[in-house]
Amino acid sequence: MRFYLDHAATTPLRPEAREAWLAASDVVGNASSTHGAGQDARRLLEDSRERIAEVLGSDPIEVVLTSGGTESINTALRGLWTSRAADADTVVLPDGEHHATMDTVAALASDGAAVRAVALSGTGRIEPEIFRAALPGAALATALVANNEVGTVNDAPALSAAAAHSGVPLHLDAVAALGHVPLSFRELRGDAAAGAGLVAMSVAGHKIGAPVGVGALVVARTAKMVPLLHGGAQQRGLRAGTQDVPGAAAFAAALSAAEDEREAEAARLRALRDRLISGIRSAVPLARLLGDPVDRLPGNAHFLFPGAVGESLLFLLDVAGVAASTGSACQAGVAEPSHVVMAMGGSEQDARSVLRFTLGRTSTDADVDAVLTAIADAYARASGSRTAQRS
Ligand SMILES: Cc1ncc(COP(=O)(O)O)c(C=O)c1O
Protein backbone atom coordinates (compact mmCIF):
# COMPACT_ATOMS: atom_id res chain seq x y z
CA MET A 1 0.00 0.00 0.00
CA ARG A 2 1.08 3.56 -0.70
CA PHE A 3 0.14 6.43 1.57
CA TYR A 4 0.42 9.88 0.04
CA LEU A 5 1.04 12.68 2.54
CA ASP A 6 2.63 15.18 0.18
CA HIS A 7 -0.36 17.14 -1.08
CA ALA A 8 1.61 20.40 -0.75
CA ALA A 9 3.95 19.16 -3.50
CA THR A 10 1.14 18.25 -5.87
CA THR A 11 -2.34 16.77 -5.63
CA PRO A 12 -4.15 13.85 -7.27
CA LEU A 13 -6.17 14.90 -10.32
CA ARG A 14 -9.83 15.55 -9.45
CA PRO A 15 -12.35 13.58 -11.54
CA GLU A 16 -14.16 16.85 -12.38
CA ALA A 17 -10.90 18.25 -13.79
CA ARG A 18 -10.17 15.13 -15.83
CA GLU A 19 -13.66 15.15 -17.36
CA ALA A 20 -13.51 18.86 -18.14
CA TRP A 21 -10.05 18.46 -19.71
CA LEU A 22 -11.16 15.52 -21.88
CA ALA A 23 -14.35 17.28 -23.04
CA ALA A 24 -12.44 20.47 -23.88
CA SER A 25 -9.69 18.58 -25.69
CA ASP A 26 -12.26 17.63 -28.35
CA VAL A 27 -12.88 21.28 -29.17
CA VAL A 28 -10.68 22.03 -32.18
CA GLY A 29 -9.80 25.67 -32.65
CA ASN A 30 -7.46 28.41 -31.54
CA ALA A 31 -9.34 30.71 -29.17
CA SER A 32 -7.89 33.69 -31.06
CA SER A 33 -9.21 32.58 -34.46
CA THR A 34 -12.27 34.40 -35.76
CA HIS A 35 -13.92 31.39 -37.46
CA GLY A 36 -16.63 29.33 -35.81
CA ALA A 37 -14.24 26.68 -34.48
CA GLY A 38 -12.09 29.36 -32.89
CA GLN A 39 -15.14 31.00 -31.39
CA ASP A 40 -16.25 27.68 -29.86
CA ALA A 41 -12.85 27.41 -28.17
CA ARG A 42 -13.08 31.07 -27.15
CA ARG A 43 -16.46 30.57 -25.48
CA LEU A 44 -15.17 27.61 -23.48
CA LEU A 45 -12.04 29.55 -22.52
CA GLU A 46 -13.94 32.64 -21.40
CA ASP A 47 -16.51 30.57 -19.53
CA SER A 48 -13.60 28.90 -17.66
CA ARG A 49 -11.97 32.26 -16.97
CA GLU A 50 -15.27 33.53 -15.52
CA ARG A 51 -15.54 30.54 -13.19
CA ILE A 52 -11.92 30.97 -12.06
CA ALA A 53 -12.51 34.70 -11.48
CA GLU A 54 -15.64 33.99 -9.48
CA VAL A 55 -13.76 31.75 -7.03
CA LEU A 56 -10.77 34.10 -6.80
CA GLY A 57 -12.99 37.15 -6.26
CA SER A 58 -11.79 39.07 -9.29
CA ASP A 59 -13.11 40.29 -12.63
CA PRO A 60 -12.58 37.78 -15.47
CA ILE A 61 -10.38 40.26 -17.34
CA GLU A 62 -8.01 40.28 -14.36
CA VAL A 63 -7.33 36.53 -14.66
CA VAL A 64 -4.19 35.91 -16.74
CA LEU A 65 -3.82 32.18 -17.32
CA THR A 66 -0.27 30.86 -17.04
CA SER A 67 1.54 27.53 -16.83
CA GLY A 68 1.57 27.57 -13.00
CA GLY A 69 2.92 29.22 -9.90
CA THR A 70 6.51 29.75 -11.04
CA GLU A 71 5.51 31.51 -14.25
CA SER A 72 2.92 33.65 -12.44
CA ILE A 73 5.46 34.75 -9.83
CA ASN A 74 8.17 35.52 -12.40
CA THR A 75 5.67 37.47 -14.52
CA ALA A 76 4.43 39.48 -11.55
CA LEU A 77 7.75 40.33 -9.93
CA ARG A 78 9.77 41.08 -13.04
CA GLY A 79 6.78 42.79 -14.68
CA LEU A 80 6.12 45.07 -11.72
CA TRP A 81 9.79 45.83 -11.14
CA THR A 82 10.48 46.65 -14.79
CA SER A 83 7.58 49.09 -14.86
CA ARG A 84 8.63 50.80 -11.60
CA ALA A 85 9.09 54.52 -11.29
CA ALA A 86 12.64 55.57 -12.19
CA ASP A 87 13.50 56.45 -8.59
CA ALA A 88 12.15 53.28 -6.92
CA ASP A 89 14.16 50.10 -7.33
CA THR A 90 13.74 48.32 -3.99
CA VAL A 91 11.98 44.98 -3.66
CA VAL A 92 10.58 44.09 -0.22
CA LEU A 93 11.22 40.36 0.26
CA PRO A 94 10.20 38.51 3.42
CA ASP A 95 12.51 35.68 4.50
CA GLY A 96 11.25 32.14 3.90
CA GLU A 97 9.49 32.77 0.57
CA HIS A 98 9.27 30.04 -2.07
CA HIS A 99 12.32 29.67 -4.33
CA ALA A 100 10.27 30.89 -7.31
CA THR A 101 10.11 34.24 -5.52
CA MET A 102 13.60 34.25 -3.95
CA ASP A 103 15.33 33.34 -7.18
CA THR A 104 13.33 35.83 -9.26
CA VAL A 105 14.26 38.58 -6.81
CA ALA A 106 17.90 37.43 -6.95
CA ALA A 107 17.75 37.77 -10.74
CA LEU A 108 16.27 41.28 -10.35
CA ALA A 109 19.07 42.11 -7.93
CA SER A 110 21.62 41.19 -10.58
CA ASP A 111 19.75 43.62 -12.87
CA GLY A 112 20.15 46.40 -10.30
CA ALA A 113 17.30 45.94 -7.80
CA ALA A 114 17.95 46.64 -4.14
CA VAL A 115 16.45 44.06 -1.78
CA ARG A 116 14.98 44.84 1.64
CA ALA A 117 14.47 41.70 3.73
CA VAL A 118 11.68 41.20 6.26
CA ALA A 119 12.50 38.85 9.16
CA LEU A 120 10.07 36.03 9.98
CA SER A 121 8.75 35.31 13.46
CA GLY A 122 9.72 32.07 15.23
CA THR A 123 6.49 30.51 13.92
CA GLY A 124 7.19 31.47 10.31
CA ARG A 125 4.83 34.44 10.28
CA ILE A 126 5.38 37.70 8.41
CA GLU A 127 4.55 40.22 11.14
CA PRO A 128 2.48 43.01 9.56
CA GLU A 129 4.27 45.72 11.58
CA ILE A 130 7.72 44.57 10.46
CA PHE A 131 6.47 44.28 6.88
CA ARG A 132 4.96 47.76 7.05
CA ALA A 133 8.23 49.25 8.30
CA ALA A 134 10.08 47.89 5.24
CA LEU A 135 7.68 49.39 2.68
CA PRO A 136 8.36 53.13 2.40
CA GLY A 137 9.84 54.08 -0.97
CA ALA A 138 9.86 50.50 -2.31
CA ALA A 139 9.14 49.69 -5.96
CA LEU A 140 7.20 46.56 -4.99
CA ALA A 141 6.65 44.04 -2.22
CA THR A 142 5.80 40.36 -2.22
CA ALA A 143 4.57 37.93 0.43
CA LEU A 144 3.26 34.41 0.88
CA VAL A 145 -0.39 34.05 1.92
CA ALA A 146 0.58 30.75 3.54
CA ASN A 147 4.04 29.27 3.93
CA ASN A 148 4.29 26.10 1.84
CA GLU A 149 6.76 24.40 4.20
CA VAL A 150 5.63 25.06 7.76
CA GLY A 151 2.02 25.90 6.86
CA THR A 152 1.79 29.21 8.76
CA VAL A 153 -1.03 31.37 7.37
CA ASN A 154 -0.19 35.07 7.23
CA ASP A 155 -2.55 37.96 7.85
CA ALA A 156 -2.92 38.75 4.14
CA PRO A 157 -5.52 41.52 4.70
CA ALA A 158 -3.08 43.32 7.04
CA LEU A 159 -0.16 42.93 4.59
CA SER A 160 -2.32 44.24 1.75
CA ALA A 161 -3.57 47.18 3.84
CA ALA A 162 0.03 48.05 4.79
CA ALA A 163 1.08 48.10 1.12
CA ALA A 164 -1.96 50.21 0.18
CA HIS A 165 -1.16 52.62 2.99
CA SER A 166 2.45 52.99 1.79
CA GLY A 167 1.49 53.31 -1.89
CA VAL A 168 3.52 50.22 -2.79
CA PRO A 169 2.29 47.56 -5.28
CA LEU A 170 2.02 44.14 -3.61
CA HIS A 171 2.19 40.64 -5.10
CA LEU A 172 0.81 37.75 -3.07
CA ASP A 173 1.96 34.16 -3.61
CA ALA A 174 -1.27 32.30 -2.86
CA VAL A 175 -0.09 28.97 -4.35
CA ALA A 176 -0.01 27.09 -1.03
CA ALA A 177 -3.13 28.80 0.33
CA LEU A 178 -5.39 28.11 -2.65
CA GLY A 179 -8.30 25.84 -1.79
CA HIS A 180 -7.51 25.94 1.93
CA VAL A 181 -8.17 29.50 3.08
CA PRO A 182 -10.65 32.11 1.84
CA LEU A 183 -9.05 34.17 -0.94
CA SER A 184 -10.84 37.11 -2.53
CA PHE A 185 -8.67 39.36 -4.65
CA ARG A 186 -11.34 42.08 -4.52
CA GLU A 187 -11.67 41.99 -0.73
CA LEU A 188 -7.92 41.83 -0.17
CA ARG A 189 -7.43 44.76 -2.50
CA GLY A 190 -10.05 46.84 -0.69
CA ASP A 191 -10.12 50.45 -1.82
CA ALA A 192 -6.40 50.70 -2.59
CA ALA A 193 -5.44 53.48 -4.98
CA ALA A 194 -4.59 52.54 -8.58
CA GLY A 195 -1.22 50.81 -8.75
CA ALA A 196 -0.87 50.42 -4.96
CA GLY A 197 -1.76 47.71 -2.45
CA LEU A 198 -2.49 44.22 -3.74
CA VAL A 199 -2.10 44.32 -7.53
CA ALA A 200 -1.20 40.71 -8.38
CA MET A 201 -1.82 37.24 -6.95
CA SER A 202 -0.31 33.93 -8.08
CA VAL A 203 -2.05 30.54 -7.97
CA ALA A 204 -1.39 27.09 -9.47
CA GLY A 205 -3.89 24.45 -10.56
CA HIS A 206 -1.96 21.32 -9.57
CA LYS A 207 -2.23 22.18 -5.87
CA ILE A 208 -6.03 21.79 -5.99
CA GLY A 209 -6.58 18.79 -8.27
CA ALA A 210 -6.12 20.36 -11.71
CA PRO A 211 -3.37 19.05 -14.00
CA VAL A 212 0.20 20.35 -13.76
CA GLY A 213 0.78 23.07 -16.36
CA VAL A 214 -2.01 25.53 -15.66
CA GLY A 215 -2.20 28.39 -13.18
CA ALA A 216 -3.15 32.02 -13.02
CA LEU A 217 -1.85 35.43 -12.18
CA VAL A 218 -4.63 37.78 -11.12
CA VAL A 219 -3.59 41.26 -12.22
CA ALA A 220 -5.55 44.35 -11.19
CA ARG A 221 -6.70 46.42 -14.17
CA THR A 222 -4.79 49.39 -12.80
CA ALA A 223 -1.48 47.56 -12.28
CA LYS A 224 1.52 48.67 -14.27
CA MET A 225 3.18 45.49 -15.47
CA VAL A 226 5.60 44.90 -18.33
CA PRO A 227 5.04 41.46 -19.94
CA LEU A 228 7.60 38.71 -19.52
CA LEU A 229 6.67 36.96 -22.76
CA HIS A 230 6.45 38.81 -26.06
CA GLY A 231 4.42 37.74 -29.05
CA GLY A 232 0.65 37.80 -29.48
CA ALA A 233 -1.70 40.24 -27.78
CA GLN A 234 -3.57 37.56 -25.83
CA GLN A 235 -4.61 38.22 -22.23
CA ARG A 236 -4.18 42.01 -22.23
CA GLY A 237 -0.76 41.53 -23.78
CA LEU A 238 0.47 40.27 -20.39
CA ARG A 239 0.95 36.66 -21.45
CA ALA A 240 1.51 36.13 -25.15
CA GLY A 241 0.87 32.70 -26.67
CA THR A 242 -1.97 30.46 -27.76
CA GLN A 243 -4.19 29.81 -24.79
CA ASP A 244 -4.62 26.37 -23.25
CA VAL A 245 -8.37 25.81 -23.40
CA PRO A 246 -8.47 22.28 -21.89
CA GLY A 247 -6.12 23.42 -19.11
CA ALA A 248 -8.37 26.38 -18.34
CA ALA A 249 -11.47 24.16 -18.33
CA ALA A 250 -9.82 21.65 -15.99
CA PHE A 251 -8.58 24.41 -13.67
CA ALA A 252 -12.06 25.98 -13.52
CA ALA A 253 -13.67 22.62 -12.75
CA ALA A 254 -11.15 21.76 -10.02
CA LEU A 255 -11.30 25.21 -8.47
CA SER A 256 -15.11 25.33 -8.34
CA ALA A 257 -15.25 21.86 -6.79
CA ALA A 258 -12.51 22.71 -4.26
CA GLU A 259 -14.26 25.92 -3.31
CA ASP A 260 -17.64 24.18 -2.86
CA GLU A 261 -16.02 21.74 -0.44
CA ARG A 262 -13.49 24.10 1.16
CA GLU A 263 -15.04 24.65 4.59
CA ALA A 264 -16.18 21.07 5.17
CA GLU A 265 -12.89 19.74 3.85
CA ALA A 266 -10.85 22.10 6.05
CA ALA A 267 -12.69 20.81 9.14
CA ARG A 268 -12.15 17.18 8.08
CA LEU A 269 -8.45 17.74 7.37
CA ARG A 270 -7.91 19.64 10.62
CA ALA A 271 -9.28 16.67 12.57
CA LEU A 272 -7.08 14.20 10.67
CA ARG A 273 -4.05 16.46 11.00
CA ASP A 274 -4.55 16.96 14.74
CA ARG A 275 -4.68 13.18 15.20
CA LEU A 276 -1.46 12.93 13.21
CA ILE A 277 0.19 15.63 15.34
CA SER A 278 -0.76 14.11 18.67
CA GLY A 279 0.15 10.62 17.43
CA ILE A 280 3.62 11.76 16.33
CA ARG A 281 4.13 13.50 19.67
CA SER A 282 3.29 10.27 21.51
CA ALA A 283 5.43 8.07 19.26
CA VAL A 284 8.42 10.45 19.24
CA PRO A 285 8.28 12.59 22.39
CA LEU A 286 11.29 14.65 21.25
CA ALA A 287 9.57 15.71 18.00
CA ARG A 288 8.57 19.37 17.87
CA LEU A 289 5.78 20.84 15.75
CA LEU A 290 7.06 23.86 13.79
CA GLY A 291 4.93 26.67 12.38
CA ASP A 292 2.00 28.46 13.94
CA PRO A 293 -0.05 26.13 16.17
CA VAL A 294 -3.33 27.90 15.29
CA ASP A 295 -2.96 29.90 12.07
CA ARG A 296 -1.79 27.03 9.90
CA LEU A 297 -3.02 25.29 6.77
CA PRO A 298 -5.57 22.63 7.74
CA GLY A 299 -3.63 19.75 6.19
CA ASN A 300 -0.10 20.69 7.31
CA ALA A 301 1.91 18.95 10.04
CA HIS A 302 5.57 19.99 9.99
CA PHE A 303 7.93 18.47 12.54
CA LEU A 304 11.48 18.90 13.72
CA PHE A 305 12.92 15.48 14.61
CA PRO A 306 16.00 16.34 16.69
CA GLY A 307 19.09 14.30 15.89
CA ALA A 308 17.60 12.69 12.76
CA VAL A 309 18.43 13.59 9.19
CA GLY A 310 15.21 14.49 7.37
CA GLU A 311 16.38 12.79 4.18
CA SER A 312 16.94 9.52 6.09
CA LEU A 313 13.49 9.72 7.68
CA LEU A 314 12.01 10.40 4.26
CA PHE A 315 13.72 7.32 2.84
CA LEU A 316 12.72 5.06 5.75
CA LEU A 317 9.09 6.20 5.58
CA ASP A 318 9.10 5.70 1.83
CA VAL A 319 10.16 2.09 2.37
CA ALA A 320 7.10 1.78 4.65
CA GLY A 321 4.94 3.16 1.81
CA VAL A 322 4.59 6.68 3.22
CA ALA A 323 5.30 9.68 0.97
CA ALA A 324 6.25 12.82 2.92
CA SER A 325 8.65 15.69 2.20
CA THR A 326 11.57 17.51 3.75
CA GLY A 327 10.28 20.81 2.42
CA SER A 328 9.20 22.25 -0.86
CA ALA A 329 9.19 19.56 -3.54
CA CYS A 330 11.20 21.77 -5.86
CA GLN A 331 14.14 21.52 -3.45
CA ALA A 332 13.69 17.94 -2.31
CA GLY A 333 15.98 16.52 -4.98
CA VAL A 334 18.77 18.62 -3.50
CA ALA A 335 19.57 17.90 0.15
CA GLU A 336 19.66 21.53 1.26
CA PRO A 337 18.75 22.67 4.76
CA SER A 338 15.37 24.38 4.87
CA HIS A 339 15.80 28.14 4.44
CA VAL A 340 12.38 28.57 6.07
CA VAL A 341 13.41 26.78 9.28
CA MET A 342 16.62 28.84 9.43
CA ALA A 343 14.62 32.05 8.85
CA MET A 344 12.52 31.03 11.87
CA GLY A 345 15.66 30.93 14.00
CA GLY A 346 16.50 27.23 13.62
CA SER A 347 20.11 26.04 13.32
CA GLU A 348 21.40 24.46 10.10
CA GLN A 349 21.17 21.12 11.87
CA ASP A 350 17.51 21.78 12.75
CA ALA A 351 16.91 22.78 9.15
CA ARG A 352 18.14 19.35 8.03
CA SER A 353 16.02 17.48 10.58
CA VAL A 354 12.50 18.39 9.46
CA LEU A 355 9.74 16.51 7.77
CA ARG A 356 6.47 17.83 6.35
CA PHE A 357 3.29 15.79 6.14
CA THR A 358 0.51 17.36 4.08
CA LEU A 359 -3.00 16.00 3.79
CA GLY A 360 -5.59 16.67 1.11
CA ARG A 361 -8.79 15.58 -0.60
CA THR A 362 -7.92 11.88 -0.83
CA SER A 363 -6.40 11.59 2.67
CA THR A 364 -8.03 9.22 5.15
CA ASP A 365 -7.42 7.77 8.62
CA ALA A 366 -5.41 5.01 6.94
CA ASP A 367 -2.78 7.58 5.87
CA VAL A 368 -2.45 8.87 9.43
CA ASP A 369 -2.27 5.30 10.78
CA ALA A 370 0.49 4.42 8.31
CA VAL A 371 2.66 7.29 9.58
CA LEU A 372 1.97 6.49 13.22
CA THR A 373 2.85 2.82 12.67
CA ALA A 374 6.18 3.64 11.03
CA ILE A 375 7.45 6.85 12.62
CA ALA A 376 8.94 5.64 15.93
CA ASP A 377 11.09 2.98 14.25
CA ALA A 378 12.05 5.33 11.40
CA TYR A 379 13.10 7.97 13.94
CA ALA A 380 15.14 5.48 15.98
CA ARG A 381 16.95 4.36 12.83
CA ALA A 382 17.35 7.85 11.32
CA SER A 383 18.79 9.31 14.49
CA GLY A 384 20.98 6.21 14.92
CA SER A 385 22.20 6.46 11.34
CA ARG A 386 23.30 10.00 12.03
CA THR A 387 25.33 8.90 15.05
CA ALA A 388 26.82 6.10 12.96
CA GLN A 389 27.81 8.55 10.23
CA ARG A 390 29.62 10.68 12.77
CA SER A 391 31.64 7.90 14.37
C1 LIG B 1 4.12 28.73 -2.18
C2 LIG B 1 4.53 28.26 -3.54
N3 LIG B 1 4.83 29.15 -4.49
C4 LIG B 1 5.18 28.78 -5.72
C5 LIG B 1 5.26 27.46 -6.09
C6 LIG B 1 5.65 27.09 -7.49
O7 LIG B 1 4.49 26.68 -8.18
P8 LIG B 1 4.58 25.70 -9.46
O9 LIG B 1 5.10 24.40 -8.97
O10 LIG B 1 3.15 25.60 -9.93
O11 LIG B 1 5.44 26.35 -10.46
C12 LIG B 1 4.98 26.48 -5.13
C13 LIG B 1 5.10 25.04 -5.47
O14 LIG B 1 5.43 24.23 -4.64
C15 LIG B 1 4.58 26.89 -3.83
O16 LIG B 1 4.29 25.99 -2.87
Domain 15-255 fold:
Aspartate Aminotransferase; domain 2 (3.40.640)
Active-site entry in 330, 342, 372, 376: 330
Q: CA torsion sign, 96 to 258 to 239 to 50?
A: negative
- Mean pLDDT score, 233-246: 95
For residue 204, give the ligand 1 atom closest to its CA: 10
pLDDT exceeds 90 at position 227: yes
Ligand 1 pocket, residue 142 CB under 6 Å: no
pLDDT exceeds 90 at position 99: yes
Tell me how far apart the alpha carbons of residues 207 and 216 are, in angstroms, rounded to a whole number: 12
pLDDT digits (tens, 9 = 90+) for 284-342: 999 999 999 999 999 999 999 999 999 999 999 999 999 999 975 555 566 689 999 99
pLDDT exceeds 50 at position 391: no
Mean pLDDT score across all residues of the chain? 95
The whole-number pLDDT of residue 45 equals 98
Domain ranges of the chain: 3-10+262-390, 15-255
Site to probe by mutation for ligand 1, drawn from 67, 98, 326 as the one with most ligand atoms within 8 Å of Cβ, is 98
What residues contact 245, with CB distance under 8 A and at least 6 apart? Answer: 24, 27, 31, 41, 44, 45, 48
Question: Is 330 a residue of the active site?
Answer: yes
What 3-state class would DSSP assign to 170? strand
Q: What is the CATH number of domain 3-10+262-390?
A: 3.90.1150.10
**263 C-alpha to center of ligand 1: Å?**
23
Question: Residues 78, 171: contact at Cβ < 8 Å?
Answer: no
For residue 73, give the ligand 1 atom closest to its CA: 4
**201 C-alpha to center of ligand 1: Å?**
12
Question: Residues 323, 380: contact at Cβ < 8 Å?
Answer: no
For residue 10, give the ligand 1 atom closest to its CA: 14
pLDDT digits (tens, 9 = 90+) for 174-220: 999 999 999 999 999 998 999 899 999 999 999 999 999 999 999 99
Site to probe by mutation for ligand 1, drawn from 147, 150, 175 as the one with most ligand atoms within 8 Å of Cβ, is 175
Ligand 1 pocket, residue 64 CB under 6 Å: no
**40 C-alpha to center of ligand 1: Å?**
32
